[in-house]
Amino acid sequence: EVSLETEKGVTKGEIEIPTSLDKAETALIAAALETIERVGPSESKIKVEAIEDVRASKREYVMDRAKKLLKDFQENSGMPESGELKMTITDNVRMMEIVEYGRDRLPAGSGIDESQEMIIVEGRADVLNLLRCGIKNAIALNGTSVPETIKELSRERTATLFVDGDRGGDLITKDVIATCEIAYVARAPDGKEVEELTKKEVLKALRDRMELGKGGGRIPSTPSTQRYQERSYDDRGYGNRGNYRNDRGDRGSGGDRGRSGYGYRGGQGSQGGGNRGGFRHHNEYGRDRDERREPMAQGQEHGALGGEHGEGAIRRELRDFDVSKPEEEALTRIQEEIIGTRGAYLLDSNLEILGKVPLSELPTALKGIKAYAIIADGVITSQTARAAELSGVEIILAKEFVGRGNFKAITFTQLARVK
């Protein structure tokens, strides 16, 4: 292709020569063109300005054009991604499964009437999220007050309360437990709400739900809480045990207890058969806390009860605390159940079990429940002892005591020697 321009008898022009050759052959032809000296009868001079690869320019054009077309398609089509489309369809199906239940017209899953268990959540969004996870027996409070529908259902079915992992969830828990019959409490991870949990988090929270005893006490959940084997406490045959009673009369100066060898490890006492985990008396017995720390004989083995005063001293202490034979048997039965679990039982004044928690979570649990006695499969640390004292615990039965407080401390060994 040649384009010519003539001016003052001189003709100039541009020559474009397309080729399908490789780079070397094309360059050879271009160099040969510059050797031409005449075009017809006229003298001529040819100079090659450039060799251009049109494929590169076409490639750039194709890329720019493709970007523009894709942008226009995304802006104008309104077509969602396949993942978004799947989620939209799933949500629409789940929305169809939400029903309005009872005279309060509470949001609930479609299977609320088909199950003997139900899960109580805070709002409609929580019910929808549980439906996404395949759980259809959830029902929402739909507000801060507890509807009558929820109260009635809790008396007829096994109810699990599933709350957010924040202070609001704690407040809702207290309100619901006070007005409904709740068997379990499940809690979302700290700082998260039920409506934003993944399926894995929902199922884990429900597996780790905490059982509430007959007393209705709440055991606070934490991220490290473990689920313990569920047992029935109705057939243990505790009988009519009555309450623990502390005879706070004049028990004397406590010299007899010093002779029996009860005290702290590392001290000195008059007998060689003391026990580091001896019973502790309250301040009302006539001594302050420092005076209650009887010394122990040097060289005593941990947990030993030797001499003629050992078992008799324990029985004398049990009588001082007014512990009857049926109550001793009840404590023994509960102790046998907890051995090997590394957990702790919280009891009321009638020795009814309020709840069970991992031993590591015992200080946290004591902040949310008023317990009269504790039976622990492990060591009572200083932290646990302080928490028990602040909570008003009267009696602790455990394997061993590192920390002490203003409560009655009984070891498994001492209880076994009384039987």
Rg (CA), the chain: 42
Residue 298 sits in the same domain as residue 157: no
Spatial distance between the Cα atoms of 367 and 388, rounded to a whole number of angstroms: 9
Whether residue 23 is contained in a domain is answered as yes
Whether residue 82 is contained in a domain is answered as no
Residue 99 sits in the same domain as residue 71: no
| pLDDT for residue 357 is more than 70 | yes
CATH number at residue 194: 3.40.1360.10
Residue 403 sits in the same domain as residue 291: yes
| pLDDT for residue 356 is more than 80 | yes
Confidence of residue 351 (pLDDT cuts 50, 70, 90): confident
Whether residue 81 is contained in a domain is answered as no
pTM assigned to the model: 0.37
Spatial distance between the Cα atoms of 1 and 3, rounded to a whole number of angstroms: 7
Residue 338 sits in the same domain as residue 407: yes
Residue 95 sits in the same domain as residue 182: yes
Domain limit, last residue, from 46, 76, 106: 76
Whether residue 162 is contained in a domain is answered as yes
| Residue range 372-402, pLDDT digits in tens | 889 988 889 888 898 898 888 888 888 888 8
Average pLDDT of span 47-71 = 86
Whether residue 128 is contained in a domain is answered as yes
Residue 34 sits in the same domain as residue 165: no
Domain count, the chain: 3
* C-alpha distance from residue 25 to each of 28, 48, 54, 58 (Å): 5, 15, 16, 21
Q: What is the pLDDT of residue 279?
A: 37
Query: Which residues, 6 or more positions from 175, have their beta carbon under 8 angstroms from its beta carbon?
Result: 144, 145, 146
Residue 338 sits in the same domain as residue 400: yes
Confidence of residue 313 (pLDDT cuts 50, 70, 90): very low
The CA dihedral of 249, 253, 258, 260, to the nearest 10 degrees, is: -40
List the domain range (segments joined by +) for residue 161. Answer: 89-207
Share of the chain above pLDDT 70, in %: 67
The CA dihedral of 276, 278, 284, 285, to the nearest 10 degrees, is: -100
Whether residue 353 is contained in a domain is answered as yes
Q: For residue 242, give both structure tokens.
A: 């009555």
Spatial distance between the Cα atoms of 174 and 118, rounded to a whole number of angstroms: 18
State the residue for tokens 């629409």. Answer: 92
Average pLDDT of span 93-107 = 79
Residue 107 sits in the same domain as residue 153: yes
Residue 179 sits in the same domain as residue 263: no
Domain limit, last residue, from 76, 104, 121: 76
Confidence of residue 77 (pLDDT cuts 50, 70, 90): low
| pLDDT for residue 278 is more than 60 | no
| DSSP 8-state assignment for residue 272 | S
Average pLDDT, the chain: 72
SS3 content of the chain, % helix, strand, coil (to 5): 35, 20, 45
When mean pLDDT is compared across 38-47, 216-225, 292-301, 344-353, the lowest value belongs to 292-301
Residue 310 sits in the same domain as residue 379: yes
CB-based contact 180:218 (threshold 8 Å): no
Whether residue 245 is contained in a domain is answered as no
Residue 264 sits in the same domain as residue 411: yes
| Residue range 182-198, pLDDT digits in tens | 999 999 998 899 999 99
Q: Is 334 helix (H, G, I), strand (E, B) or coil?
A: helix
| pLDDT for residue 275 is more than 60 | no
Domain limit, last residue, from 76, 110, 136: 76
Residue 202 sits in the same domain as residue 284: no
| pLDDT for residue 30 is more than 50 | yes
Whether residue 156 is contained in a domain is answered as yes
CB-based contact 384:393 (threshold 8 Å): no
State the residue for tokens 């309450």. Answer: 243
Please give the full DSSP string across 148-214, using - where no structure is assigned.
Answer: HHHHHHHHHSEEEEEE-SSHHHHHHHHHHHHHS--SEEEEPPTT--GGG--HHHHHHHHHTPEEP-T
